[in-house]
Structure 1
Amino acid sequence: MTSAPPLRRRHDRIILAGLIGNVMEWYDFAVYGYFAVVIGRLFFPADDPAASLIASFGAFAAGFIVRPVGGLLFGRIGDRLGRQQALTWSVIAMAVPTVLMAFLPTHASAGIAAPVAIVLLRIVQGLSVGGEFANSLVFLVENAPGERRAFTAVWGSWGASAGILLGSGAGDLLTHVLSEEQVLNWGWRLPFLAGGLVALTGYWLRQGLEPELPNAEHASPVRAVFARHKGAMLRVALLNLGFGVGFYAAFIYAVSYIKNIDHLPDATVFNLNT
């Protein structure tokens, strides 16, 4: 009887650790999309505003392309060193490029180096998100009671949605407090800078968890899972493809679309999206 409360507290701490990491990761990942119009003008200038926006979202897409690589990379770290180590490093890999984005020089002052730098930082962010989401779900399931695995794992997905909502809310607050000129000049940097504070919170919450010993069943787990579960992996990938396209079109790109096509003020756009 006396062991129940400590076990419950540990379970709650594990859920919080899995949740906060995804909040931070997806906040940082989504903030770029919400400020794609501004980033396009500052880092990918062109005579046609549409070309700048396409180039800006091209850098956004770079983060998606490398996400499977991030899953493989951080999954291997988790298998070898433990999930906690993989999750700690994924938080760091997201926090560093996000804060660096807040201090990047624009194309006007750094030339071609500016867009190259932002693409490279987006790639690191994509690797981090790929490692964070997959490893956090595995971490939650591995540390959940047998009868509560689904309930425990779903907090990882909720954390991702909460992070995207937080990013939209940050844009909403920013556009209500600052003028459009202030956002363009320096205000867009503030949400990226704030991402560092969220990352520190996630890092702190993930310290002190009891480290688990890696238990690799196969010397080549990637090869083994493709051999055993190829059909299931394909179905899950296609499900995520459909969901991802619909979600990001509705809740990320819509901010840029409504602003450019409907010409609504930024504050109204972020308010509607949030």
Structure 2
Amino acid sequence: MTANALAEHAASADAPGRTLNARDYKTLSLSALGGTLEFYDFVIYVFFATVLGALFFPIDMPDWLRQLQTFGIFAAGYLARPLGGIIIAHFGDILGRKRMFTLSIFLMAAPTLVIGLLPTYASIGVAAPLLLLAMRVLQGAAIGGEMPGAWVFVAEHVPAKRYGFAVGTLTAGITGGILLGSLVAVAINTHYAPAEVNDFAWRIPFILGGVFGLVSVYLRRFLHETPVFQELADRRSVARELPVKTILREHRGAIAFVGLLTWVLSAAIVVVVLYTPTYLQKVHHVPAALALQANALATLTLTIGCIVVGWATDRIGTRAVMLVGWGGLLATSYLFYTSLPGTPASLVWHYGLVGFFVGTIATVPIASVRAFPAPVRFSGLSFAYNMSYAIFGGLTPVILTLWLQKDPMAPAHYVAALAVLGLVLALLPMASRGYPMRAAPKA
């Protein structure tokens, strides 16, 4: 893209009345596809955790310890998110959104492919789990940069009147990675016998994820730098000091707002989507097949919900959608958890309903991206989002496990409490307004 074409695109990006054009749809589709594949690569590990535990740790290790270490390696990916996000976002605010956006998916695809090719403990001993840990750390660093980077990249490309729809659709693409991982895991375990899964078939989803991720890296070469960053570079307004230093000094309110919103998001995703299938089986003795089918429907309605929520924010405003959405999550979470185990039909449809209102998580990036000014937007969003998700996303399963010893309704109470927090945050000025996507004209 020539300098003149870039300038023309930047000048027209927020032209009054402009709708999504072919360039916007290409940007949105390639970004969403990459987000789907990258999140698939990140979560596919959890669907094969039992198999990985048996293959990458000593056979004579107690089962509980093997599972603990397996999930410990999974958790390492979450712990690496803040560091990876800060580093990738730092260079995203200095060198450009596109370069870091492409780098993040490469850092996810390559380790995923390597995991699919790793020798097991039986072949190389203790080096096997250490290599697995190293790959998970790289994946965590990548996802820490991908999600904030994707939201900023798309938000700075699209016209203001389609901002919510674009960010909501991108979020739907990212959450679609969970659905894709679930469907692939079901397919592998249906098509292959348990012995075949343990022997070789477990490698297939990782190799596929790595290959498709590398294809997505190639496709992102056809994306263009955001008009906002191009303007900043042309006007020499790119962050000159360490961006995270600026946000810690000047944007502490925005950090708190985005961090608390992320806590609400993490509760909805971790509890309703990731934790509940195990909860259904352990507490309510729901057959695994039924629990996974219901979870697949809930993930599908979550994906649809993100698009609907994004569309609605462009029509009636972010605050109104947050109030309706978080209020709906509060009501439907109690409807779902109090009706358990119920009938198979009621379980599936109640789970699908609460999944739809989990789609309110799309308001989190919609409100959060504009909470920071353009020169430090990537770093501000990445720092607040990843720090909060690492803390609350990691602590949530522990909190629920302990709480369930006292109250089987713990998941409902936890989700409801965070939904109330979401309602409170919706009433703050920052929920409905913030910095414009484009920087103010230079005096």
Is the structural similarity TM-score above 0.5? yes
Q: After alignment, is 209-218 or 196-205 more displaced? A: 209-218
- What pairs with 1:7-156 in structure 2 (closer than 5 Å)? 8-45=21-58, 47-156=61-170
Greater Cα shift, 97-106 or 180-189: 180-189
1:270 Cα deviation from its structure 2 partner:
4.3
CA distance in structure 1 between the aligned counterparts of 2:89 and 2:278, rounded to whole angstroms: 34
Offset of 1:239 from its aligned partner? 3.2
Q: Could you list the runs of 5+ residues in structure 2 that have no partner in the other structure? A: 1-11, 297-443
Question: In the TM superposition, what whole-angstrom CA distance separates every residue of 1:110-158 from its partner, at most 9, and x where no partner exists?
Answer: 1110111111100000000001111111111111112222222222311
**Matching residue's letter, 1:23:** T
Alpha-carbon distance between aligned partners in 2 of 1:115 and 1:237, rounded to the nearest angstrom:
33
Greater relative contact order: 1 or 2 (C-alpha under 8 angstroms, separation 6 or more)? Answer: 1
Distance 1:133 1:44 in 2: 32
Q: What is the CA-CA distance between 1:258 and the residue it aligns to?
A: 6.7
| Counterpart in the other structure of 1:199 | 213
SS in 1 for 2:117: coil
Aligned-residue Cα RMSD (Å) equals: 2.6
Aligned residues: 271
* Structure 2 counterpart SS, 1:206: helix
Take 1:43 and 1:256, find their aligned partners in 2: how far apart are those partners?
A: 23
Matches within 5 A, 1:167-206: 167-206=181-220
Q: Deviations over 1:169-216 (max 9, x none)?
A: 100111110111111111111100110232134223312223343451
Secondary structure of the 1:252 match is: helix
User: Which structure has the bigger radius of gyration?
Assistant: 2
Separation (CA, whole Å) in 2 of partners of 1:233 and 1:144: 24
- TM-score normalised to the size of structure 1? 0.88
Partner of 1:160: 174
Counterpart of 1:135 in structure 2: which amino acid?
G
Identical residues among aligned pairs (%): 33
Q: TM-score by structure 2 length?
A: 0.56
- The runs of 5 or more residues in structure 1 that have no matched partner are none
Tell whether the 8 Å contact from 1:28 to 1:94 is kept in structure 2 after alignment.
yes
Indicate the residue corresponding to 1:220 in structure 2. Answer: 242
**One-letter identity of the residue aligned with 1:252:** L
